[in-house]
Amino acid sequence: MKIRLFITFILLSLTGNLWAQGLPALERIEPMFWWAGMKNPKLQLIVHGKGIAQSSVVLAYPGVKLAAVHKVDNPNYLFLDLLISPSAKAGAFTINFKKASGNLSYRYELKQRDRSPNRAQGVTSKDLIYLLMPDRFSNGDPSNDVVASMRETTLNRDSMYYRHGGDLQGIINHLDYLKDLGATAIWLTPEIENDEPHASYHGYAVTDHYKVDPRYGTNALYKELVDKAHAMGLKIVKDLVHNHVGTEHWFIKDMPMKSWVHQWPQYTQSNFRDAAVMDPHASAADRKVMQDGWFDHSMADLNESNPYVQNYLTQNHIWWVEYAGVDGFRLDTYPYNDPAYMADWARKVKAEFPRLSIFGETLVWSVANQAYFTQSNTVNRGFDTQLPGVTDSQIKDAIAEALNGKEGWTDGVNRLYSVLAQDFLYQDATRNTVFLDNHDMSRFLSIVGDDFTKFKSGMAMLLTMRGVPQLYYGDEILMKNLSDPDGKVRLDFPGGWPGDKADKFTAQGRTEKENEAFNYIRTLANYRKTSTALQTGKLMQFIPQNGVYAYFRYDAQQTIMVIYNSTDKETTANTSRYSERTTGFNSATNIITGRQLSNFTQLTIPAKTTLVFELRR
């Protein structure tokens, strides 16, 4: 009997949570640990366990004060406000929960902050972001393909709506491929747990904010991915969803309070009309439906005006940066969030990590609508959003129009000119992320009708445009498909799975045309790594004439000329039109071919072709 009791004591001690007979187990405390030396001394712990609100709470640790204990609607919750003094040292202490039937204790730890210089270093216009979906990129560990304890246990690569088995180890295995391509940052669609019954592979229906989905790996493996990426000169962008969570989330299944999510008399979906947020004539009802309506039946809309929800989300995001050292955040569905909270969120995150980059998803219909959400655009708002940049869907649409459209006053290539002319609406347009496609839309090759010349032209614009360029996985090997209910824009990367017929991660596995596309992008991307003009230089554009459009990226060290023939026929352009930027240069080097032109006053440009030159004196 004594031996059995001793073994039981040891097992309970290893869990870090001890409970007396008759008191239910503590289910969780989040954040499960924190750090000494954070800028914000306030920390709010969410405590979940059956009947935990019946307990009194005691803790004692130098520099840590229990400032308040909040009971809420649900007796299974307590919220503990801690004040952590700057003098508090890293170490562990016990939080005791006492009630008549027995005591429960939790061993809480304050860790030492990691001050390594390559953590939270920011993603800027010097970078090229490679966007991938972990489930569809590469399966590096088949043993985690199916996790029996999770709600979805079907693995079917023949269906776009089931899981395919890609994981974090698969990404780690191909970091060298991304480095060779010229990428400098990797954006993963959310890798945290999505334990929904079906079609949750995309990651945008989180069910546990503090846990990597076990079908992708573990928290430790995610940190290992970040560390290995950093060692190779690659950065990591973490994808966040403030607006909603999966309906199977543990705190939705047992909500702390009714106001934790936006409640409606009956299911109400967002109207998805971002204009209602900024429209000075908007109906309050329309604005409410836009921001408080649910994204989907399976995605509960969080009430971000609730201070407990605010603290939970903000602390979780700070926790992931400090834990793993990620370099930037992409914010999903930005216009649907509570504006005042998002501004407060950004201030608190920036206070802890001044170099961390942040950009918000704004798939809207005008430049003004995009700019409205960005930093320092305070018109009709009364506060600064603190959002440095957005996903620049207007540039995306303008490049597609420049490649596919017929020239008009604001059509065809003039659309691109006009969109860039509105950069005055931003505090700094170079903080915007520019892209040609992503996981929610048609792939770029299909947008341009499988036209390889247009494809290369668009890629040239992407990699020479102002802002932070982002490439969608597989575009470099000519993956295609239009956005449709079949979800084929999210096909697996060929070669990422054992037994794939071809391995597109290698030159030997790619076709001649795929290698041409890969090498074209690789040449520009790697050139961009050392080009000060393309990274941080100014942009000057000239009004298109006769279908020819030119812009320049330049600084004191370098001048790059990008010129595009939008017509269906070869044309000759007289570069005297651009003397404002070309005077003093006597030769030009084609970045793709390496060919040097001793006389570039007359340029012959094939139809739908973009040429990129470095000008030389």
Contact assessment for residue 307 and residue 296, using Cβ atoms and an 8 Å cutoff: no
pLDDT at 484: 83
What architecture is the 129-245+304-529 domain classified under in CATH? Alpha-Beta Barrel (3.20)
Q: Which residues pair with 187 in a beta bridge?
A: 131, 237
pLDDT at 315: 98
pLDDT at 485: 79
Q: Which residues pair with 542 in a beta bridge?
A: 550
Instruction: Decide the pairing of beta strands 91-99 and 433-435.
Output: unpaired
DSSP for 336-382?
GS-HHHHHHHHHHHHHH-TT-EEEE----SSHHHHHHTSTT--TTTS
Three-state DSSP at 539 gives strand
Break the chain into its structural domains and give their ranges.
2-112, 129-245+304-529, 535-616
Contact assessment for residue 41 and residue 130, using Cβ atoms and an 8 Å cutoff: no
Domain 2-112 has CATH 1.20.1240.10: no
Domain 535-616 sits in CATH at 2.60.40.1180
pLDDT at 20: 33
pTM (predicted TM-score): 0.95
Q: 536: which residues sit within 8 A by CB, 6+ positions away?
A: 125, 126, 430, 555
Question: Catalytic residue numbers?
Answer: 332, 361
Alpha-carbon distance of 537 to 35, in angstroms, equals: 39
DSSP 63: T
Domains 129-245+304-529 and 535-616 fall in the same CATH topology: no
pLDDT at 25: 65
- Give every residue of the chain whose pLDDT is below 50, as ranges: 1-23
DSSP 474: T
pLDDT at 10: 36
